[in-house]
């Protein structure tokens, strides 16, 4: 949802703005930028307002904007990595319980005894 609200992937208006700027239509470029909800709008505005000598600054600003979008994703990444491990841990605990029940049954093995652990 964070990427959707930030306009990630919706760069049609940005392409129109850059094309208008390249064709010498500065007002058209600014109008196209006003219609965009992309997180890159401030970067493109900065690029249109400055000379081409500031390319490193534009790259740094774009990376900063993208890093801001990644905020909060680290916790989701941790959950995605830990969830399978927790599932496997539960399986191992269930198998231990099932084998303990089997051991406690002795010679009277009944498959229903294993059902609790599995």
Cα–Cα distances in angstroms (integers) from residue 103 to residues 4, 66, 99, 100, 106, in the given order: 55, 57, 6, 5, 6
Pair 63, 81 in one domain: no
Q: Is residue 9 scored above 70 in pLDDT?
A: no
Q: Which domain holds residue 87?
A: 74-115
Rg (Cα) of the chain, in Å, rounded? Answer: 29
Using the 3D structure, point to which of 36, 53, 69 is the last residue of a domain: 69
pLDDT in the model for residue 90: 92
What does the pLDDT average to over 64-82?
Answer: 80
Pair 42, 84 in one domain: no
Q: Is residue 74 scored above 90 in pLDDT?
A: no
Pair 31, 85 in one domain: no
């Amino acid at each position: 949802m964070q990427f959707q609200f930030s306009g990630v992937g919706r760069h049609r208006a940005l392409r129109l703005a850059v094309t208008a700027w390249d064709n010498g239509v500065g007002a058209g470029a600014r109008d196209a930028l006003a219609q965009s909800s992309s997180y890159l709008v401030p970067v493109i505005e900065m690029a249109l307002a400055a000379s081409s000598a500031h390319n490193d600054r534009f790259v740094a600003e774009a990376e900063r904007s993208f890093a801001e979008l990644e905020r909060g994703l680290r916790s989701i990444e941790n959950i995605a990595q830990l969830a399978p491990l927790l599932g496997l841990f539960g399986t191992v605990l269930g198998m231990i319980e099932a084998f303990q029940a089997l051991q406690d049954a002795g010679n009277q093995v009944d498959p229903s005894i294993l059902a609790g652990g599995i």
